[in-house]
Amino acid sequence: MVEMKGSSEAEDRAREFIKERHFRLKQILFRTVRKEEDVWLIEGEVSFRRAYFLTTKRFFKLRMKVETGEVVFYEEMRHHST
């Protein structure tokens, strides 16, 4: 892989990674995209279909290496409504 020079390249790679994980992906919203030293930190929200009418939303955190675009950490958390 090639070095991720800009935030749009990091978002594109994150989108690819998430699409591989969720077959019924509906939407990805990026909330935070920032570079810290040699890692891109990306946070956002993903929604996908669980059943015919049921949609699930989760928050995610992702870290990827700047020089390779390799995802080194990915976590999803349930979307809590208050």
The pLDDT, as a whole number, for residue 11 is 94
> Could you report the per-residue pLDDT of 4-19, keeping only the tens digit for each?
678 899 999 999 999 9
Asked if 24 and 48 touch (Cβ cutoff 8 Å), the reply is yes
Query: What are the residue boundaries of the structural domains of the chain, listed by start?
Result: 7-78
Single pTM value for the model:
0.84
Residues 6+ apart with CB under 8 A from 44: 28, 29, 30, 31, 32, 59, 60
pLDDT of the residue at 17: 95
Cα first-last separation, the chain: 41
Q: Kindly report, residue by residue over 53-76, the tens digit of the pLDDT.
A: 888 899 999 999 999 999 999 999
Q: pLDDT of 16-46, one tens digit each?
A: 999 998 888 899 999 999 999 899 999 999 9
Architecture of the structural domain at 7-78: Roll (3.10)
Sole residue written with tokens 């279909």: 49
d(CA 13, CA 63): 11
Helix (H, G, I), strand (E, B) or coil at 28: strand
